[in-house]
Amino acid sequence: MPQDPNNLIWIDLEMTGLDTQRDEIIEIATVVTDAALNVIAEGPVLAIHTADAVLAKMDDWNRRQHAASGLAERVRHSEIDLREAEQRTLAFLAQHVPEGASPMCGNSICQDRRFLARLMPRLERYFHYRNLDVSTIKELARRWAPEVAAGFGKTASHLALDDVRESIRELQYYRACLFKF
């Protein structure tokens, strides 16, 4: 399928914590949709090798979450480093969206962008400078249309591909409820 500048790139990262200057990316997933939020392609889902010493520094929440999901074990056994994960993700995106065309799409995406700027700068630069942050719409709905906000339940598996898919479904939900064109 040729590149389309109207396609949207959805991304989610799992990290060892929320400190953008200290913590590490341990998983990345991307999905490309068309402008109507139909999935065109799912990119590689990559667990990024991380040393046990780094994983040991995770706080209790992250340690429990990533152990329960199996991500911590996948990360320990992965042979993929940050550079390879970045290159494989860029190769996938280049098949579907021209560089600089798509905003970064997802939930609380500013946090992901900060991690990418530090650890995967080529990937961060592939996106347009704008963000399509579903959490902004969620916050507005919570304040202006609480019945709509209450109508979408998240599973929050904290696995990158699951979270990307959920972000797309969430925006589809808000589009149907709030943006009736």
Per-residue pLDDT reduced to its tens digit, 12-50: 999 999 999 999 999 999 999 999 999 999 999 999 999
Q: For residue 92, give the 3-state DSSP assignment.
A: helix
Judge whether residue 58 has pLDDT over 90: yes
Do residues 55 and 67 make contact, with C-beta atoms less than 8 angstroms apart? no
The topology (CATH level 3) of 8-178 is Nucleotidyltransferase; domain 5 (3.30.420)
Active site residue 129: yes
Work out the number of other CB atoms within 10 angstroms of the CB of residue 62.
21
Confidence of residue 156 (pLDDT cuts 50, 70, 90): confident
Residue 91 has pLDDT above 90, yes or no: yes
Tell me the C-alpha distance between 159 and 177, whole Å. Answer: 27
Sign of CA dihedral 135, 29, 126, 37: negative
Catalytic residue among 126, 129, 173, 174: 129
Q: Give the separation between CA 39 and CA 7, rounded to whole angstroms.
A: 10
H or E stretch at 168: helix 160-178
SS3 (DSSP) at 133: strand
Does the structure show a pLDDT above 90 at 157? Answer: no
CA angle 30, 36, 42 (to 5 degrees): 20
Q: Over the stretch 120-133, which tens digit does the pLDDT of each residue have?
A: 999 999 999 999 99
d(C-alpha 13, C-alpha 116), whole Å:
9
**pTM for this entry:** 0.95
Domain ranges of the chain: 8-178
